[in-house]
Structure 1
Amino acid sequence: MSSEHALSLQNPAHSFEPAQLVEPDEAAVPPPSVDVLGVPLALTTYERAMEWIDARVETGEKGYVCVAAVHTVMACQEDEELRRAVLNSSLTVPDGQPLVWAMNALGSNLPSRVYGPELMARHCERSARTGTRIFLYGGRNQGALVQLALNLRRRYPGLKIVGGYSPPFRQLSAEEEQGVADEINRSGADVVWVGIGVPKQEKWMAAMRDKLDAPVLIGVGAAFDFHAGLVAQAPNWVQSLGMEWAYRLSREPKRLWKRYAKYNPWFVLGFARQWAGARLGV
């Protein structure tokens, strides 16, 4: 594998009910889901999702996790490859607050979303205690990836980051893909965190799943930029109002305005039809 983007990162010398001990085989079973515009979203919490990840690591059963916001759900309506990748995931969690509201409107009782950056932070904290080995795939460039690794190590002493790779902004050749797979497999990673954005990360996980030994792959999009300190996260009160999209739009209007102008109204109209159909029993 070319060394241009590869990075050696070896370390130098709210839930439905109270947390309970769960056997790995039981925890590895995906939770039930609710269909929102054709995308099954897991009825889960941070704790339950992390139990699932840890159980898969322990049993060695392979899978991948999609972290879905409204953008993901609506992009699935017009991108068949993305739709297949999401539908074939082992677990798709509701990252966006509007998706939690939609699930609850259909009769669920989810207390909160499973926000990708927060899931990554909580599981890294957990991994520092359990010894779970992680690989970082993504980042704007190698410098951003290095900063991400440094920040995670500072926040979670003992975290085992066993490798990283910042891919170029183009499709990898078959030879490059195999080189990446070999690098990840040599690292002995248990979990591969993938931060290359929707829809690339979902398609990458689906395509690479059989080539990788790591039990769990998790696509978390902008989490890499947030944890590297390159992009500011919306305040908690903004997130709780489901207005994180507006905050991000104010920070990156040129890149994001088309996405939100198209997908947000489309989601509201599409879900209104689904909700009305559910109420009428059709």
Structure 2
Amino acid sequence: MTSNKRFLISIPISKGTYKECIKSIVELGTKKVSSYVCVANVHMLVEAHQDTDFANVVKNADIITPDGMPLAKAIKSLYGIKQERIAGMDLLPDLLKKAEQDNLGVYFYGGTTEMLDNTKSYLSINYPALRISGVYSPPFRSLSAKEEAEVAKKINDAAPSIVFVVLGCPKQEKWMSAMKGKIDAVMIGVGGALPVLVGMQKRAPGWMQKNSLEWLFRLCQEPNRLFKRYFVTNTIFLILYYRALLNKFLNKSYYNS
């Protein structure tokens, strides 16, 4: 799954099933391959469209999953490929379960001290045999090169196989890109999936997930923070999507390549 991708508007998306994705991530972690996984949604796609440097960060990821249902549906309509949605909120608990089963160490980088404390409590109850290599809440500012090197050493000394990065998009993707080749583990940006997992936020009901309305549920939870982001990015995405759909009919060979 690490090399099998299809280009969608501004970023490539890894093809494959949910189970194949889990297997690929676990293999990277087991082998301690310095690598990273981007869990892509509409926000990430639009950020990449507007920022070439960020687009390159995403393109260089080893795995790019279609987290948002709109991305999975867009792949279907543009390529005729039935692609499963591979959401971070599903990947996180399943990767933790697999790590527990295979005795793989996990590390949590990012988030507040309160969130990480809640995470440790939650994991001790729900994943009692999970090997937690460490947690770290970095300061809310850019780190110096020296500090970044110290962080990489701190994580490598803890020897995790999987590093869950909780900085939010696009910060977490840029951090993982900068750390590739420095941290000997697979890194995956889980963003808002962690507070949902540990009970600090709620997830949308299944019918909203299936109908591409999970964004609306989150908007109702955090309207002040997410109003502009969702309405602006969703509008831009629709424009880009319909433009790509038009290009499909004008230049079918591009999407059949």
Give yes or no for the alignment of 1:35 onto 2:7. Answer: yes
| In 2, Cα distance between equivalents of 1:42 and 1:269 | 23
Please point out which of 232, 246, 256 is paired with 1:276. Answer: 246
* AA of the residue aligned to 1:281: N
For 1:17, the equivalent position in structure 2 comes to none
How far 1:31 moved relative to its partner?
5.0
Deviates more, 1:76-85 or 1:53-62: 53-62
- Mapped partners of 2:4, 2:85: distance in 1: 15
Q: Distance in 2 between matches of 1:78 and 1:111?
A: 25
> CA–CA distance in 1 between the matches of 2:80 and 2:239?
20
Do residues 196 (structure 1) and 167 (structure 2) align? yes
CA contact (8 A) 1:95 1:113 kept: yes
2:98 corresponds to 1:149: no
Partner in structure 1 of residue 255 of structure 2 = none
| Cα deviation, residue 86, structure 1 | 0.2
Residues of 1 paired with 2:179 and 2:4: CA distance?
25
Inter-partner Cα distance in structure 2 for 1:254 and 1:58:
41
Contact 2:110–2:167 (CA under 8 A) maintained in structure 1: yes
- Normalized per residue, the structure richer in helix is 2
Task: Give the match for residue 20 of structure 1.
Answer: none
- Give the number of aligned pairs: 252
Tell me which residue corresponds to 1:78. 50
Shift of 1:111: 5.0
Residue pairs, 1:240-255, within 5 angstroms? 240-255=210-225
RMSD: 1.4
**Of 193, 200, 208, the match for 1:238:** 208
Structure 2, unpaired ranges of 5+: 253-257
- Alpha-carbon shift at residue 39 of structure 1 (Å): 0.7
Match 1:177 to one of 123, 126, 148: 148
| 4+ runs deviating over 4 angstroms | none
**Distance in 1 separating the partners of 2:99 and 2:249:** 43
2:17 to 45, 60, 66: 45
* Cα distance, 1:35 vs structure 2: 1.3
- Mapping of 1:1-282 within 5 angstroms? 30-110=2-82, 112-139=84-111, 141-214=112-185, 216-281=186-251
Give the aligned residue type for 1:33. K
Q: How far has the Cα of 1:254 moved from its partner?
A: 0.7
State whether residues 44 and 110 of structure 1, in contact with CA within 8 Å, keep that contact through their aligned partners in structure 2: no
Q: SS where residue 164 of structure 1 aligns? A: strand
Tell me the amino acid that sits aligned with residue 242 of structure 1. Answer: S
- Within 1, Cα distance between the matches of 2:102 and 2:83? 27
CA shift for structure 1 position 279: 2.0
Which amino acid in structure 1 is aligned with residue 5 of structure 2? Answer: S
Query: Which stretch of the first structure deviates more once superposed, 142-151 or 92-101?
Result: 142-151
Inter-partner Cα distance in structure 2 for 1:57 and 1:144 = 24
TM-score (normalised: structure 1): 0.85
Contact kept in structure 1, 2:92 and 2:194, CA below 8 Å: no
Relative to structure 1, the CA distance from residue 142 to residue 239 in structure 2 (aligned partners, 3 Å threshold; closer, same or farther) is same
Q: Note if contact 2:47-2:54 (Cα within 8 Å) is conserved in structure 1.
A: yes
**How many angstroms does 1:230 deviate by?**
1.4
Rounded to whole Å, the distance in 2 between the matches of 1:147 and 1:59 is: 29
Deviation at 1:38, TM superposition (A): 2.2
Unaligned runs of at least 5 residues, structure 1: 1-28
% of aligned pairs identical? 36
TM-superposed CA distance for 1:275, in Å, is 1.1
Distance 1:177 1:36 in 2: 32
Using the TM superposition, give the Cα deviation of residue 42 of structure 1 relative to its aligned residue in structure 2, in angstroms.
1.0
